[in-house]
Structure formats: structure tokens, C-alpha cells
Structure 1
């Protein structure tokens, strides 16, 4: 299944169901610990083999050489985007939560200013929404941008920050991204 504008209504309906909101998806505002407001505009679920990377605190020099081989996650083709399967929970895979933060990258909204928001969003928004809908991903990516960007598209004018997390025991563990 590809991500396109024609898929948006179906994805928006699923997103509203995931978050348990009755109103339009655009109304889902989240107040971040940094003091900024974010608007959730997209959730992308990928059912694929996990792409575990070392934890953020791992020294790359301590990794065995084969861990840095040609089969790195960035060299792999993109995973297929999939909607939840009817009749059963999804196990494994990757969940991407994509949010807009107005003024991101500007004064008071540099990466350093919003960095603590990523773990909070993973723990407080992503995991509860996924759990409530029977999804058990192995990874979550939180993406903040200053504008909506179509999934998989590039926008050189957009400011985008990403953080990845491995899910272990119901907790978000920051990954070297």
C-alpha cells in the first residue's frame, strides 16, 4: 500500500480511531513539555522486519564490524506501509507518529529546545494509542516538522527533526538515529 493523497481519508479515519478522538484529526493538539504545541497529522504503520539500531548511548567503536556491514538499515529498500489487519493485533514493525510544531527550527524551537519532547511523545502519546488498538511495534519514530510533508516526500524548505525508539517492556528506549 502506498501513501498518497487518495489514501489520506482512510488513514485519517484510522488515526482518529487509534487516538480515540471523535472530531477531525486536525483538532488533535498536544501540549509538549517544551511549552510548544504540536498537531498530530499522520500515523504510518509499517509491518516489516525490525531494523534495530544500537541504543543512543552505544559507542560505535565497540560494535563488531559485521554490525556496520553493507546491510545497514539505510541501505535497505523502504518497508511496505500497511493498515492494521482485520481481526487481530499487529505484532512487531514500526509506528511513525508525525506532528507539526509551528515555528520549529526558529528561536526557542531549535532541536535542543524540543529534544526532551520526543521521549515524552513516545511514552505519552504513541504507546498508549498503539496499545489501545492492539498494536505492539518493536520501534516507534517520532517526527516533528514545521509543516505537513507527505510521507516519503522531500521538502527542502521544511524543518524536520526525527527520533527513533526501540520498544522494550512497554518503554521507549532512544536509538542512535
Structure 2
């Protein structure tokens, strides 16, 4: 497991700001998965919340604009990049029914992100 340091904040196509708070590297079967976990308060439940269809384009953007350069900078090699958005910090692998979370998986190919569809 790698902690994101320093914390990276960026704007996404929806016009909101997200903060990278954790990067995890783990094995899933025979593959290495890089998990980029972001706090995205704008996806919280309620009126005015960003829905999944809008957040999906944000996740594609985060893969290409942040995860790929981060991986290169820190010499991380992965078969799959998972981008997750949560309205609050959550512990990885622990259910939190109060949290809103969205996930997408991508294959890094020739410095681009190819959507995998979990």
C-alpha cells in the first residue's frame, strides 16, 4: 500500500474538485491493480449531487490526467487502474453504507486509459 503524498487535488470535467487521498497496489489473481482513491464530496446523496453518469467522465479524466502521470512519477506498473470516488474517506475493503462511492476500472495501454467496465 502506498499513501498518496503529497495530497493531490484537481478539478474534473464536472467542474468539481477532487482530492487523491490514497493509492493502493495489490494483486488480483495474476494482475497488479493500482487503486486511486479520491474524495469527491459532490457525489454525496441528496439534491444537487453529481450522478454516476457525470462522475464516469470525471473518472476517465482522472485516469488519464492524474493516474497515468502519477504512476510514471512513482514508477508504478499496473495491469489495471481503478479510479474510485467517495464522498468521504473510507477504509479500503470495509463496507460503509453511509458513504456514496463510484468505481471504474481501466487498462493502461500506450499511455491512454481503456475503460474495462467492472
Are 1:161 and 2:79 an aligned pair? Answer: no
Runs of 4+ in structure 1 off by over 4 angstroms are none
Structure 2: any 5+ residue segments left out of the alignment? none
Q: TM-score, normalised by structure 1?
A: 0.60
2: CA distance, partners of 1:101 / 1:148:
9
Aligned residues: 115
Q: TM-score, normalised by structure 2?
A: 0.88
- 1:94 maps to 33
CA contact (8 A) 2:16 2:42 kept: no
2: CA distance, partners of 1:123 / 1:111:
18
Give 1 or 2: higher strand fraction.
2
Q: Whose radius of gyration is greater, 1 or 2? A: 1
Q: Could you tell me how far 1:108 is from its partner in structure 2? A: 4.4
CA contact (8 A) 1:141 1:165 kept: yes
* CA distances 1:123-171 after superposition (whole Å, capped 9, x unpaired): 1100101111212211100000111110111100110000000111221
Map 1:15-94 to 2 at 5 A: 15-16=4-5, 21=6, 25=7, 28-48=8-28, 49-50=30-31, 93-94=32-33
Structure 1: any 5+ residue segments left out of the alignment? 4-10, 51-92
Give 1 or 2: higher helix fraction.
1
